[in-house]
Amino acid sequence: MVHQKPDEATADETSISTQPPSYNLSQAPPVYKVGYPQKKNLTTEFTNTLRETFFHDNPLKQYKDQSASTKFKMGLQFLFPVFDWGRTYNLSKLKGDLIAGLTIASLCIPQDIGYSKLAYLEPQYGLYSSFVPPLIYAAMGSSRDIAIGPVAVVSLLIGSLLQNEVDHEKNKEEYLRLAFTATFFAGITQAALGFLRLGFLIEFLSHAAIVGFMGGAAITIALQQLKYVLGIRNFTKETDIVSVMESVWGSVHHGWNWQTVVIGFAFLAFLLLAKYIGKRNKKYFWVPAIAPITSVILATLFVYLFRADKHGVQIVNNIKKGINPSSVHKIYFTGPFVAKGFKIGVVCGMIGLTEAVAIGRTFAAVKGYQLDGNKEMVALGTMNIVGSMTSCYIATGSFSRSAVNFMAGCRTPVSNVVMSMVVLLTLLVITPLFKYTPNAILGSIIISAVIGLVDYEAAILIWKVDKMDFIACMGAFFGVVFKSVEIGLLIAVSISFAKILLQVTRPRTALLGNLPGTTIYRNTDQYPDARHVPGVVIVRVDSAIYFSNSNYIRERILRWSTDEEEKVKAEGLSKINFLIVEMSPVIDIDTSGIHALEDLHKNLQKRGIQLLLSNPGSIVIEKLQSSKLTEHIGSNHIFLTVADAVRFCTSKSMQEP
């Protein structure tokens, strides 16, 4: 039988008897002592910690024993994956990418025009942002399925944050420059996180908080579109539901335009029907994909033929023709707007990253390939840096377009290139045709697009699984809906951090008992049949012991001990003489934790109770040894398994008169 190394033992394994299959009852079972790891010097320890923190995936392994030219080629392929997958590109893949690219282009063009309005920018800036960034991403991105461009949530967020700093109507030029500045710093933030391998920072925003934030943002976005769908000219600039509904109902008698209402709701019904058809039958995925551009064409023709714009129907008017002009000179590199642009850029960049990486990982898992999160961040950051210099605002991965891209059969990022070329054609030739496009149809398209962001099924699942997560979800949701996007985001982040702090400062502990007929010790709450060992209290600590929780753990263990003492006294059972702390789940301990154990030992000694430790891991036992706590407790009181510790307690009790 091969025995587990002491420092590799898990919580389950340590409580299983070490008896070999041929164990003879007349023989004493073998007892293994806790192993002490070899001491490492400071440099080695620091290097190992650094490697595990930032290079856990060992990205440089592939470069080992390679020639300089090979290393250069591999480095080039790492930064520009197009040089890797491009070598095997063929006509079969082009066919899939061409169909997918044309399909998502028909979806993105009307969406881009609508999303630019969410950001309080002119329509062409939405199209600009679906031309240059997708080309950069196609060369540098590692996802085969992400469709790049402006998205509803980020558009709303950047518009809301920018509007708080500069009025988009009174200071149009300053507002535009601040938008490019925020985009530049969003790109810098994203690329820096990728280069420095700090992608784990975006994971501090929990899934539950994201679900709530996205759902709240979707409701807010949909409410904002009522001004276009109902034809209201004087509409509130606030985004909370109370202000919006007051603005809507306050103008019901004089502000609504019935022609606009007919156009808006008729095409909204058409778009929702198309989405329903595509959802019910996957082979009709193209129906909801082409529905937006079809709606735009039909609505534009209707307005032009009947001159509905003369009857109060608001239209897009002229969209500036031509490709992206340079905007390098418009980015603020000095002055008071730099700090504002940086702050807005960091927030929007992090949200954009979270959405894009989540989308990329989702589709990568479906297709069975690996997605390098850090490489994705570099690609997204670079495209936004270049985008800020070519009149684009923040672009990221769009879930709705990526889903269509996936179902349309995309094979590589070339589908983004095809989409970009269609957008280029639109900018050069087709933009004048959008002059009579009613704003109502753009509002309907956005409403139909964001409805999918309200994931009530995920919220129900979160409620069933974790109530604290549900509080985070609802906190973010109601913060966005009833206050603002910024407040909702702040609540989401705050509750996510609060949950982490709660779990760190108040870890779980469990009272263990023996499962009859075995040497296995388990939580008595989970296994009611588990029996308490006479004269012994066994407690398991399910967390690392740090300064933030050491006092709580000490007090909680003492409370377990006190409760058990009172219980045995009331029942007239044997006195508690031993307390065993099962330390298998304790992955680390700091000086505060060591002091807490020392205080626990002294406190128990005063009450005539001996402290025993079971299966401390390699890092823990090394620190206990360095602090000489092993000498205070006694090395003969530290055991490999709970069963060994209980056997020791039993033999000691039998020796006492």
Residues 513 and 460 in one domain: no
Secondary structure of residue 611 in the 3-state scheme:
strand
Phi, then psi, of 509 in degrees rounded to 5: -125, 155
Residues 443 and 527 in one domain: no
Residues 451 and 513 in one domain: no
Instruction: Please tell me the distance from the alpha carbon of residue 481 to that of residue 219, in angstroms, as a whole number.
Output: 7
Cα separation of the two ends of the chain: 39
Instruction: Please tell me the distance from the alpha carbon of residue 239 to that of residue 217, in angstroms, as a whole number.
Output: 10
Residues in the chain: 657
Residues 515 and 573 in one domain: yes
The verdict on residue 618 lying in a domain is yes
535: left (phi over 0), alpha (psi -120 to 50) or beta: left
Q: Which of 19, 13, 17, 6 is nearest to 519 (CA)?
A: 17
Instruction: Please give the pLDDT value at position 359.
Output: 86
Q: Which of 443, 396, 391 is nearest to 118 (CA)?
A: 443
- 63 Cβ neighbours under 8 A, 6+ residues apart: 71, 74, 75
Burial (CB < 10 A; 0-12, 13-18, 19+), residue 569, is exposed
The CATH number for 631's domain is 3.30.750.24
Instruction: Please give the pLDDT value at position 102.
Output: 92
The verdict on residue 10 lying in a domain is no
**Which residue, of 470, 497, 524, is where some domain finishes?**
497
At which residue do the structure tokens 């390939």 appear?
369
Residues 473 and 559 in one domain: no
Instruction: Please give the pLDDT value at position 472.
Output: 87
Residues 444 and 512 in one domain: no
Quick one: DSSP state of residue 657?
A: -
Residues 465 and 551 in one domain: no
Instruction: Please give the pLDDT value at position 381.
Output: 96
Residues 208 and 237 in one domain: yes
Instruction: Please tell me the distance from the alpha carbon of residue 7 to that of residue 623, in angstroms, as a whole number.
Output: 14
Q: Which domain holds residue 145?
A: 83-497
Show the tokens assigned to 639. 């055991």
The verdict on residue 325 lying in a domain is yes
* Residue 537: its H or E element: strand 536-541
Instruction: Please tell me the distance from the alpha carbon of residue 609 to that of residue 581, in angstroms, as a whole number.
Output: 13
The verdict on residue 211 lying in a domain is yes
Quick one: DSSP state of residue 147?
A: E
Instruction: Please give the pLDDT value at position 463.
Output: 94
Residues 444 and 420 in one domain: yes
Show the tokens assigned to 6. 């002491």
Instruction: Please tell me the distance from the alpha carbon of residue 393 to that of residue 155, in angstroms, as a whole number.
Output: 9
Residues 408 and 309 in one domain: yes
The verdict on residue 44 lying in a domain is no
Quick one: DSSP state of residue 536?
A: E
Instruction: Please give the pLDDT value at position 603.
Output: 93
Instruction: Please give the pLDDT value at position 63.
Output: 66
Residues 484 and 556 in one domain: no
Show the tokens assigned to 89. 């590109």
Instruction: Please give the pLDDT value at position 591.
Output: 94
Residue 229 CB-half CA count within 13 A: 19
Positions in the chain whose pLDDT score sits under 70: 1-31, 40, 42, 45-46, 51-61, 63, 656-657
The verdict on residue 22 lying in a domain is no
Burial (CB < 10 A; 0-12, 13-18, 19+), residue 5, is exposed
Secondary structure of residue 612 in the 3-state scheme:
strand
User: Any bridge partners for residue 396, and if so which?
Assistant: 149
Residues 511 and 485 in one domain: no
Secondary structure of residue 614 in the 3-state scheme:
strand
The verdict on residue 12 lying in a domain is no
Instruction: Please tell me the distance from the alpha carbon of residue 145 to that of residue 363, in angstroms, as a whole number.
Output: 7
The verdict on residue 454 lying in a domain is yes
Phi, then psi, of 212 in degrees rounded to 5: -65, -45
**Which residue, of 497, 520, 549, is where some domain finishes?**
497
**In this structure, are residues 459 and 211 in contact, taking their beta carbons and an 8 Å threshold?**
yes
Instruction: Please give the pLDDT value at position 375.
Output: 86
**Which residue, of 497, 520, 542, is where some domain finishes?**
497
User: How many domains does one find in the chain?
Assistant: 2
Show the tokens assigned to 585. 């789940």
3-state secondary structure 230-298: CCCCCCCCCCCHHHHHHHHHHCCCCCCCHHHHHHHHHHHHHHHHHHHHHHHCHHHCHHHHHHHHHHHHH
